[in-house]
A and B are shown apart, each in its own frame.
Chain A
């Protein structure tokens, strides 16, 4: 069954604004990952955060993880038109289990 649920389903912002996407999941996890998918392309890994971590940064990206609320957020600061894409969270449970992806958030950054 689907594990992650992203919110909102779609987000439209102006270039330069910050974009925040949320992900909720249902069971305990080993780690949570965020991926970006440009239209017609494969997924690109952005950040992996392990269950014992609370926050990670990578360039303009900031990911938080709250295991008590079973939720994560992805913040993109100073957005650019090139950030327009779908963003997916994916979780893996403890053990040899596969990544389970959410349905994604479609982000549109308007120049």
Chain B
């Protein structure tokens, strides 16, 4: 069974559209994250949720809105997509504790292309 899964794997859309990426983990972890990896492979955290509560928001534009219906799911909704949003988005989870205290388990990534 996949520990952290994301859908879709690929997403191609036009500027101005609204899209969502879904993430689910079956590890029983309390903490989940969204990361953005740009074309130069630089990986940067966007959000962190602990037990459905937002604990880290790294100056991400408010066009990006994470939603956690339960602690096993953390979805990412993006409004008014821009060319610069093109990247690979990774979901991750980790055991409970201070952010970064434990190893993180990553999903396979969603490659978003905005045209």
A residues in contact (CB < 8 Å) with B = 2, 30-31, 33, 35, 37, 40-45, 48, 86, 88, 90, 92, 95-101, 103-104
Encoded as 1 (CB less than 8 Å from any A CB) or 0, chain B from 85 to 111 comes to 000001010000011111111111100
Contacts of A31 in B (CB 8 A): 100-101
Asked if A101 and B100 make an inter-chain contact with CB atoms under 8 angstroms apart, the answer reads no
Instruction: Specify the chain B residue showing the minimal Cβ separation from A103.
Output: B42
Encoded as 1 (CB less than 8 Å from any A CB) or 0, chain B from 33 to 58 comes to 10000001111110010000001101
CB distance from B109 to the nearest CB of A (A): 5
B residues in contact (CB < 8 Å) with A = 4, 33, 40-45, 48, 55-56, 58, 90, 92, 98-109
Asked if A99 and B4 make an inter-chain contact with CB atoms under 8 angstroms apart, the answer reads no
Some 29 contacts from A to B, beta carbons below 8 A apart, are: A2-B42, A30-B100, A30-B101, A33-B103, A37-B41, A41-B109, A42-B4, A42-B92, A42-B107, A42-B108, A43-B43, A44-B106, A88-B43, A92-B100, A95-B98, A96-B55, A96-B98, A97-B98, A97-B99, A98-B48, A98-B99, A99-B45, A99-B100, A100-B45, A101-B43, A101-B44, A103-B40, A103-B42, A104-B41
